[in-house]
Amino acid sequence: MQAPLRKAVVIGDGGWGTTIALLLVENGIETTLWSAFPEQVKALREERENRRYLPGVELPEDLSVSADPFEAGEGAEVAFSVVPTQFLRGAIERFEDALPGDTPVVSATKGIEIETFHTPSEILSEVLGERPLGVLSGPSHAEEVARGLPASIVMASADDDLARRVQLALSNERFRIYTHGDPKGAELGGALKNVIAIAAGISDGLELGDNAKAALLTRGIIEMARFGEAHGARSETFFGLAGLGDLATTCYSRHSRNRHVGEEIGRGKSLEEVLDEMEMVAEGVWTTRALFGPESEARGVSMPIAEQVNAVLFDGKDPRQGVTELMQREPVGEMDGLGGASR
Same structural domain for residues 102 and 237? no
Same structural domain for residues 238 and 172? no
* Identity of the amino acid at 44: L
3-class DSSP assignment, residue 201? helix
> How far apart, in whole angstroms, are the C-alpha atoms of residue 268 and residue 16?
30
Residue 2 lies in a domain: no
Asked if 193 is an active-site residue, the reply is: yes
**Overall number of domains in the chain:** 2
Same structural domain for residues 239 and 145? no
Sequence-separated (6 or more) residues with CB below 8 Å from residue 150: 174, 175, 176
Same structural domain for residues 204 and 177? no
Contact between 241 and 153 (Cβ < 8 Å): yes
Residue 317 lies in a domain: yes
> How far apart, in whole angstroms, are the C-alpha atoms of residue 154 and residue 167?
8
Q: What are phi and psi of 33, to 5 degrees?
A: -95, 120
> Which of the residues 7, 193, 213, 317 is marked catalytic?
193
Beta-carbon count within 10 A of 25 CB: 20
- The side-by-side arrangement of strands in the sheet containing 151-156 is 64-66, 30-34, 7-11, 78-81, 105-107, 133-137, 151-156, 175-180
Sequence-separated (6 or more) residues with CB below 8 Å from residue 140: 16, 19, 151, 153, 246, 249
Residue 57 lies in a domain: yes
Going through 82-174 in order, the beta strands assigned E by DSSP cover: 105-107, 133-137, 151-156
Same structural domain for residues 198 and 304? yes
Same structural domain for residues 156 and 45? yes
3-class DSSP assignment, residue 330? coil
The tens-digit pLDDT sequence of the chain (343 residues) is 567 899 999 999 999 999 999 999 999 999 999 999 999 999 999 999 999 999 999 999 999 999 999 999 999 999 999 999 999 999 999 999 999 999 999 999 999 999 899 999 999 999 999 999 999 999 999 999 999 999 999 999 999 999 999 999 999 999 999 999 999 999 999 999 999 999 999 999 999 999 999 999 999 999 999 999 999 999 999 999 999 999 999 999 999 999 999 999 999 999 999 999 997 778 999 999 999 877 666 667 899 999 999 999 999 999 999 999 999 999 999 988 887 543 3
DSSP 5-48: P-EEEEE--SHHHHHHHHHHHHTT-EEEEE-S-HHHHHHHHHHS
Residue 134 lies in a domain: yes
